[in-house]
Chains A and B, each alone.
Chain A
Amino acid sequence: MWLSKSHRVLPGFHVGLGYTVTILTLLLILPLIACLFKVATLTPEQFFAAVWTERARAAYLLSFGASFVAAVINVAIGLLLAWVLVRYEFWGRRFLDSLIDLPFALPTAVAGLVFSSLLVKQGWYGQFLVPLGIKGAYSQLGIIIVLVFVGLPFVVRTVQPVLESLEGDTEEAAAMLGANRWQTMWRVLLPALQPSLMTGFALSFARGLGEYGSVIFISGNMPRKTEIAPVLIVARLEQFAYAEATAIAVVLMAMSLVSLALVNWLERRSRRYAP
């Protein structure tokens, strides 16, 4: 037995583990294996030809790049929002707080449509932005904007509880030791929030990688310019090139796993002070 014979308050470890493994297998591992089987019908040359075209590389780059930029923006905006919601008492705070979750519930296609109609030349935002040369609709910028929208709740919701648990006396202690506001922010508050910011970043980034619905409505889906990897997969499917589509999906998945593992590792490292 690999388990030490300790008595637990709640019995059923083996049942619980079996349950977990079964669910994970059914939901994650089997579909993944199915993908790999499908890809195995391709020869290595065919596989490489499918996943490493110029168009595919541009799509990976855009997917990862836009998700990364959107996640960075989300960390900044989300931190500020969480700060305001936690630290200040004002009329309508609870309403604002529940508004934060809206992107979770809203069909993302709706978000894509709304944002593209706002950002076109005649739209509310576009009428001011387009004359300045800022084209939000049908551009890479548009993709970043909708990814910021769909990823926003993640940062707010991960930072909020940590901010709530930070006692005010930590800041007071910093002030008593002679730190100015800036030093308190950089040396005391942000490092304390760093792990939760990293988590929020990872979630927002992952969400961006998987996002499809909103992006197709705002990006214009021009190959090599505004086509993200999931859109490329769908394009291949529409050509009945199922194996090629799956091959791109597998590459996207592998890249996602590697980048998420990296973020997770960074996150754990930043938590080293709390065993």
Chain B
Amino acid sequence: MSISICNISKQFGDFVALKDVSLEVPSGSLLALLGPSGSGKTTLLRIIAGLEQADAGHIKVQDEDVSQLSARDREVGFVFQHYALFKHMSVFENIAFGMRVRHLKDAEVRPRVNELLHLVRLEGLGNRYPSELSGGQRQRVALARALAVKPRLLLLDEPFGALDAKVRQELRTWLRNLHEEMHVTTVFVTHDQEEAFEVADRVVVMKQGHIEQAGTPQDVFDHPATPFVMDFLGHVNVFHGRLEAGQMHLPGFAMEYPEYQNPVSRDATAYVRPHEVELDRTPQLETSLPVRVVHVNPAGPVTRVRLVSDAFGAAINVDLSPGRYRELALRPGDQVFATPKRLRVFLPDDYVI
């Protein structure tokens, strides 16, 4: 089922949670609403669910306008950040709840619940109470409970937010696999860009009640539409300077930027991703920036190096491949030269080059 979100606005008192938001969620997709807190992502999710009424605009599910339907008539599965399991019911009865309130016969309920217990890998735990489960298990029960009534859509509100890093990682992969199996149109809210990019096949970045950018993870990562998106997607290096005739001038050094050949100088902000900077013992270009190594973190698939430019005064983060790191044999205190390979420049009036 596809979702069409048309011109949705929502205000809480003086606080504008959403202003004129429109978005298409294709059928069978797994979409992430990504943004900092207060960006309106949870409000949007709750409006899709019917838990919140929009002040203006409407929601369509597969061409049917559901704006006036109550939450319980929308046939939407919802997973809450803090699970919201029924504490006085066993795991089995939690999952069966949706079918029980529809007065389904026990003969129908039982096999369906067992099937779901299998799906969320909790076989044999049907008789436990939620208080006897771990956080990850509880969230899987919540998911099974939401799926039990065969919802048209599945909505998840920061589903892994309350879990520790390792469990979160596991559940991400598991949710991705589950989606491949079920193909229910799924929208989930997260403030974790890594999670969004790892799980979703569409990413929507939100800020202060509007959508900054929507697209595939590849699109959004490679072509960030605004400085906000660029900034939000990771530990990016930011340089404020002046742009003029193919060069970005910063206090102390310059970077090539051939896309802008206008001789008229203007203020600009350049963003450089940590893995798009090269380090060398000798300057690669005459514009390479002399820097001093401050800290090296070799744990993980990339080696993160923190450097400081003594002339320029600011810190720069660089990610090196482990191979390159061994070649350079960097130690704190070493003097090296940094050459940015790719910059993205945003001019203050939001004119994107």
Contact = CB atoms under 8 A, between A and B. Distances in A.
A180 B145 CA distance: 17
A7 to B, nearest CB: 28
Contact of A178 (B87, B89, B102, B142): B102
A180 B72 contact: yes
A191 B88 contact: yes
Contact of A274 (B90, B102, B131, B145): B131
B344 interface: no
B80 A274 contact: no
Contacts of B84: 167, 169-170, 172-173
B109 to A, nearest CB: 13
Contacts of B72: 175-180
Given A167-B84, A170-B84, A176 B146 contact: yes
Q: Give the interface centre of B97, B100, B130, B131 by most chain A CB atoms within 10 Å.
A: B97
A170 to B, nearest CB: 5
A192 B87 contact: yes
Nearest to A192: B88
Q: How large is the interface on B (under 10, 10 to 19, 20 to 34, 35 or more residues)?
A: 20 to 34
A176 B132 CA distance: 24
Nearest to B128: A273
B221 interface: no
A225 B67 CA distance: 62
B206 interface: no
Interface string A242-275: 0000000000000000000000000000000111
B88 A177 contact: no
Contacts of B85: 173
Interface in B122-165: 129-132, 142, 145-146, 148-149
Contacts, number: 79
Nearest to B51: A172
B117 interface: no
A179 B97 contact: yes
Interface in A146-189: 167, 169-170, 172-180, 183, 187-188
B82 interface: yes
Contacts of B87: 192, 273-274
A183 B98 CA distance: 11
28 contacts: A167-B84, A172-B71, A173-B78, A173-B84, A173-B86, A173-B142, A173-B145, A174-B86, A174-B101, A175-B72, A176-B78, A177-B72, A177-B97, A177-B98, A177-B101, A177-B148, A177-B149, A178-B101, A178-B149, A179-B97, A180-B101, A187-B97, A192-B86, A273-B87, A273-B129, A273-B130, A274-B131, A275-B129
Minimum-distance CB pairs A-B, first 5: A177-B98, A173-B84, A169-B84, A273-B129, A176-B78
Interface of A: 167, 169-170, 172-180, 183, 187-188, 191-192, 194, 273-275
Given A169-B80, A192-B88, A275-B131, 15 more contacts: A170-B84, A173-B80, A173-B85, A174-B101, A175-B70, A176-B49, A177-B146, A177-B149, A178-B72, A178-B98, A187-B97, A192-B86, A273-B89, A273-B130, A275-B132
Interface of B: 49, 51, 70-72, 75-78, 80, 82, 84-90, 97-98, 100-102, 129-132, 142, 145-146, 148-149
